[in-house]
Structure formats: structure tokens, C-alpha cells
Structure 1
């Protein structure tokens, strides 16, 4: 309840950048406060786990030590919050066009993609065309924006540097750890880059429009299927980000053709994708390792599969209600 409430308030009052961070931190604080007033009568354990005597863990940590350990997370939250503010992001990008600052032309570099920029036209009904024309009036822009300073990753990197100073980590050790992290993430980074490349290829080839128009045949029932598409994307790719990149444009086109709220339909792609997280291969492997059930991935998949499908269908029902019964819940 605390996690969902804070997610709702953050997304509506601030934006999408800190939704999970605030929700996670808030729920941790709420759980800690709750356990000060209530303790479970019985401790649950796995059937094959016997009673273990608690080890002597030394003296309790002081509040100062706890605050010292939490400081990096506080810095991370502040940096992500700042980088998520539209006004701050505009400042980092060089300011508004009418009042540029010293960062203009330095912090954000734009490159037109050769052999693609303004060479692709949308055809009706996807693109807006003049009466009697067979294609949109304006061609599609293909511009790569290298906003190295305003990118959220820059704020996260600066938070890491500040945390390294706070924790008294030597510069050499920091560089070594950073290099090891990049090496460990090399497959994930390459995969995300490939998924984004596929998403752009889908957009500029017109595949998103073709599939989006095909899905309009589901008619008024499409809001139920929209989360299932996101669910399928995450189940296959293991990433909500990849699913959104692949199907986001498709969902928007279908929503516009059916006169539905694009915010609702595109958002349901992400919401449905969350329900696919429990059956994607990476999550199952992590769950098996974390619970010391190596080799039991198949059993875990069989156990959670029905739960995943039912929850995805429930999200579909909620989306259907938000589309036709309570549309006021979604901003226009």
C-alpha cells in the first residue's frame, strides 16, 4: 500500500524519474516503523530449513552509522530528482532558444542521421496528409541528440563520484570498480542497445504503423489486450524498457486510431510488462539463486506462470475500466 501510494503521488506530482526510488525508500521506512509496533507471532521458514541459533553480531549500529551508510542513496535520489526537473534539464541543455546560456551548443549536440533524415513519410491514416495527398505533409525527422550533460545517467554518475568521496574510496579503486561494473554489464548494455536499434528500425520502416493498424481490428476490446502485449514483451526480453521500446509506438498508433487515450494505452504496456517479470528467464534464475533452489527453475516457472497470466488479465480489466468507465483517472 505504501509503495503504490508513493508511486501514484510521485508520478502525478513530480514525474516518472523517481517513481520506483521514492516508492521503494518510502515502503522501507514504512515497514521499519510498522515493525517497531508489531512483530509476527511466528517466523516463517522453508520446510527443509531447521531452527538456527542467531549469531552474535556485535553491538547495535548507531544512528550515525546508519545515516552514513544511507547517504549514497540519499545523494542518488536528490540527483535523479534534479535531473528529472524540466527546468533543470532545459538549463543543462543550454537554456531555452530565446535565452541560451553558456552551455548552449556544448552540452547537447544534434546529428542528422544520413540517408534517413526527412526521407521517411507517414501515410494516412497514421500520418496527417493534405486532402487528396497520399502521404504526410512533413517527413519524419531522424536526429540523434547527444545530451551528455542532461542525461539521467550523468546525474547517477555524479552521485557515484560524490558517494566515493563520502565513503573515502581511493580514486584508483573507484576507477577499478567502475571498470568492473562496465565489464559485468557489457552483455546487458549491448542487449539494450540492440533492442533500441530494433525499436528505431521498426519505427522508420513503418512496421509499428502496420502492426498498430492490424490491432485496431480488436475494436473496443483493445484496452484489455494492450497490457498483454507488454506482458509478452517482458516475458520474451526480460526487460520492461525493451518492451516499451518495441511496442510503445505501436500502442500509441493503435490508441490514436481507436480514439483511446494514448497515455493509458502506452502506460498499460509498462504495467502489463511488470506482470511478465515473474516469468522471464533472468528473473527466474535470480529467484532460484537467491532462495538456494538451483536447478529448480522449471518448477518455479510452473508455479508462477498462472499467477502471472491472471495478474496480467486483471491489469487488462483495469485498463478496460479506465478507458470506458472511469476515464477521468488518466490525464488527457
Structure 2
């Protein structure tokens, strides 16, 4: 029998009418941004452009001023200033896309304004989350929480994946989820004499499964489509998939830790 929730979602998930000023050009040009990003990032990585002008800045008053007992050494506080980092590569991709589609300067600036309007909340969320992660690391909260999570014992490999799932569900970013709970996972793994690399990876893998139900990602996704205002329907359609896939990933981690060693 069909799932009633799925049927309801199908009923409500309707295509909204196209807005005035919508793109009227050839549909194949919609692939241009993705092709540009792929090509530029490949070149950027192959030529190590991000390293040009990169400068490590040891933060005064904080670098190696905090001793982490788990690592038995002072904790470094280094900000890697990269003027030609990945973000610059994405901006170059946007410029090349504008040239390839023959967009005018006015159209390009309008696109930048629209992007800023749609993404400002996500940017602030990621920045604050990473700031919170640094605070938790340097204050010792991460290691205390890791010690508490380690009390789950043999079940920790399964719990580990769901921690990453929760982190990305809350923050909307796998990067932020790793920053928030990555060290926690490593600390707990050390406490249980398990593989810390595996559980740092489990945090990231679980986070990917949580990304599909993150309110920030759903909001961003529908904002650039004709499904705006139907965030709840999208969440209802993806939640079960997210939970099931996270559980499967947990079983993979359990198998890797206890069978494959």
C-alpha cells in the first residue's frame, strides 16, 4: 500500500508558476556554472594556486597557550591566511560563467545581490558555529563531552555517526559539523582505544546524511527553485531516507571497527 505521508507530499509539492524575469535562454547553458567550477577547481588544485601568498598567522596570546592533556602538548592557534583560497576559485568560476553566458555587468551584480540575500544567514551560521567550535576546543569542553560520549562503550561506533548527523542538522554545514564535533569524536575514540581516524570520518559521513534534512539547506534549496514556502513538505519527504541511511552508515562503521579492525 502506498505511504499516506508520501501521497500527501505528492499532493502538496506543486510546481509554482515561473517568475517574471526568469531565464529565457537555452537550457543547456544551465550546465555552464558547474562545468566552470569543475574546470577551475581542477586547475586551482593542480597548480597549487591556493598556496600562493598563503601566510600562517600564529594568533598572539593564544597560540600554544592552552595545554590539552589528551594530546600531551600545547594547542596551536594558527590562522592560515589564503588570499587565493577555494573561495577565490569559486568567484573566478562565477566571472568566467558570466563571460560565457554574455551576462551584462548589471545582470552579474544583480545575481551577486540575490546570492547575498539568499545566503547571508547561512554564512553567519557557519561563521558562528566555527567560532563556537574553537571556543569549545580551547576551553576543554570538547574533550569533556568526548569523555561523556565514551561512556556508551561498545555502542559508540553507531552513536558516532548520529553525532555527525545531529551536528549538520543543527548547523547546516558538514564543515561546521566537523568543526563542532570532530575533536569530540577523536577524544571519545582515544578514551575507548578505538581508531580516531575512523570516527573523525564517521562524523563527516553521518553529517552528509543529516544535510538533506537540515533546515538551512532545505531553505536554501527551495529559495532558488519554484518550491519556496514548501520547506515542510521537502523535510517530510527526506527525513525517513536520512534516518535510514544514517543507520546503515553506522553499521558500516561498526563493521570497520570490530570486524576489519
TM over 0.5, shorter chain: yes
Determine the C-alpha separation between the residues in 1 that align with 2:155 and 2:100.
54
Determine the C-alpha separation between the residues in 2 that align with 1:200 and 1:261.
23
| Equivalent pair of 2:37/2:93 in contact (CA under 8 Å) | yes
* Alignment correspondent of 1:26: none
Task: Give the 3 Å change call, closer, same or farther, for CA 48–140 of structure 1 in structure 2.
Answer: closer
Output the TM-score relative to the length of structure 2.
0.77
In the TM superposition, what whole-angstrom CA distance separates every residue of 1:57-98 from its partner, at most 9, and x where no partner exists?
xxxx9xxx676553432221011223334xx33x6424xxxx
In the TM superposition, what whole-angstrom CA distance separates every residue of 1:269-300 from its partner, at most 9, and x where no partner exists?
12222332344334555788868695782x76
Give the drift of 1:180: 3.5
* Alignment correspondent of 1:4: none
Q: How does 1:19-30 map to 2 (within 5 A)?
A: none
Over the aligned positions, Cα root-mean-square deviation in angstroms equals 3.3
Determine the C-alpha separation between the residues in 1 that align with 2:95 and 2:221.
31
Select 1:191's aligned residue among 125, 131, 136. Answer: 125
* Alignment correspondent of 2:82: 147
Determine the C-alpha separation between the residues in 2 that align with 1:84 and 1:165.
22
The alignment status of 1:317 with 2:251, answered yes or no, reads: yes
Determine the C-alpha separation between the residues in 2 that align with 1:76 and 1:186.
21
Output the TM-score relative to the length of structure 1.
0.62
Q: How does 1:237-248 map to 2 (within 5 A)?
A: 237-248=171-182
Give the drift of 1:265: 1.0
The alignment status of 1:75 with 2:21, answered yes or no, reads: no
Determine the C-alpha separation between the residues in 2 that align with 1:195 and 1:296.
23
Task: Give the 3 Å change call, closer, same or farther, for CA 183–69 of structure 1 in structure 2.
Answer: closer
Determine the C-alpha separation between the residues in 2 that align with 1:72 and 1:201.
37
Determine the C-alpha separation between the residues in 2 that align with 1:66 and 1:293.
21
Select 1:127's aligned residue among 58, 71, 75. Answer: 71
Give the drift of 1:321: 0.3
Give secondary structure in 2 for the equivalent of 1:111.
strand
Determine the C-alpha separation between the residues in 2 that align with 1:110 and 1:262.
26
The alignment status of 1:223 with 2:181, answered yes or no, reads: no
Alignment: residue pair count: 242
Q: How does 1:1-150 map to 2 (within 5 A)?
A: 46=10, 69-85=30-46, 88-89=47-48, 92-94=50-52, 107-123=53-69, 126-128=70-72, 136=73, 139-149=74-84
Task: Give the 3 Å change call, closer, same or farther, for CA 165–315 of structure 1 in structure 2.
Answer: same
Give the drift of 1:226: 0.5
Give the drift of 1:318: 1.3
| Equivalent pair of 1:84/1:152 in contact (CA under 8 Å) | no
Determine the C-alpha separation between the residues in 1 that align with 2:201 and 2:159.
13
* Alignment correspondent of 2:97: 163
Give the drift of 1:268: 1.3
In the alignment, structure 2 segments of 5+ residues that lack a partner are 1-8, 14-24
Higher helix share: 2
| Equivalent pair of 1:288/1:296 in contact (CA under 8 Å) | yes
| Equivalent pair of 2:56/2:81 in contact (CA under 8 Å) | yes
| Equivalent pair of 2:171/2:216 in contact (CA under 8 Å) | no
* Alignment correspondent of 2:196: 262
In the TM superposition, what whole-angstrom CA distance separates every residue of 1:128-162 from its partner, at most 9, and x where no partner exists?
3xxxxxxx3xx22212111111x111111111111
